[in-house]
Amino acid sequence: MSVLLRLASALGRNDEVPNQELAAQLAGSGDAAAVAELAAGAMRGPKPIRHDAIKVLYEIGDRRPELIAPHRDGFVALLQERDNRMIWGALCALDTLARTEPDFIATHLAAILDAADRSSVIAMDRTMSMLAKLAARPGTGRFAWERMMAALRTSAVNQTPMYAEFALAAATANNPAELAEVVRHRLDGIGQPAKRARLEKVLRKLEKL
């Protein structure tokens, strides 16, 4: 039975449960042939299949990134799509590879940043997550850190606490004082108590570095 027939759209479902269950099963079994079929479906299938396939792939990547790593070039190719769901799905998949394949991600960072700029909030969230992982590493860190700081200075209020938390994970390898300065500046313009509390927590952690 083709693994594509087990996707939510193929089953006539409008929820993500079949996709989530399939991802968990394939991550457990390590079925490389099924993962390859999903990757092919994400690249060439009908739109509902493509959307479901990329969802399953990045859910597998969250659990076992090595299973989707052979298809990394395909994820980069998907960044050229006009379909926002495929763009942010590909970025989600690439984010799961950022710790195990950092040099690959760094090589394609220009395409990743361009896609994030053209796409959705989700796309930028996952790109910031990737940048944080790169920023924590020698060699790829400085450029990634600078892009994170630039994004954090101008990010939407709703995203600012999350982006500050991402940056905190890479601060020790870069410039904690710079991050603290940016967070303090953003605090001046944020009134919501919950968001302020998250940013203040970042500042307290930075003081201990």
Structural domain containing residue 169 = 136-209
Of 173, 185, 183, which is closest to residue 203 (Cα–Cα)? 183
Give the number of C-alpha atoms closer than 13 A to the C-alpha of residue 149, restricted to the C-beta side: 20
pLDDT of residue 139 exceeding 90, the answer is no
32 has pLDDT over 80 = yes
Query: How far is it, in rounded angstroms, from Cα 162 to Cα 158?
Result: 8
Given a cut of 90, whether residue 138 has pLDDT beyond it is no
Single pTM value for the model: 0.94
Q: Is residue 131 part of a domain?
A: no
Within-domain flag for 100: yes
Mean pLDDT of 42-56: 97
Residue 149 has pLDDT above 80, yes or no: yes
Which of 120, 148, 164 terminates a domain? The answer is 120
Residue 24's pLDDT band, with cuts at 50, 70 and 90, is very high
- Give the pLDDT band of residue 124 (cuts 50, 70, 90): very high
Whole-number Å distance between alpha carbons of 8 and 15: 7
173: DSSP letter = T
Looking at the structure, do residues 68 and 149 belong to the same domain, yes or no?
no
Average pLDDT over residues 53-70: 99
| Separation between Cα atoms, residue 75 and residue 40, nearest integer Å | 11
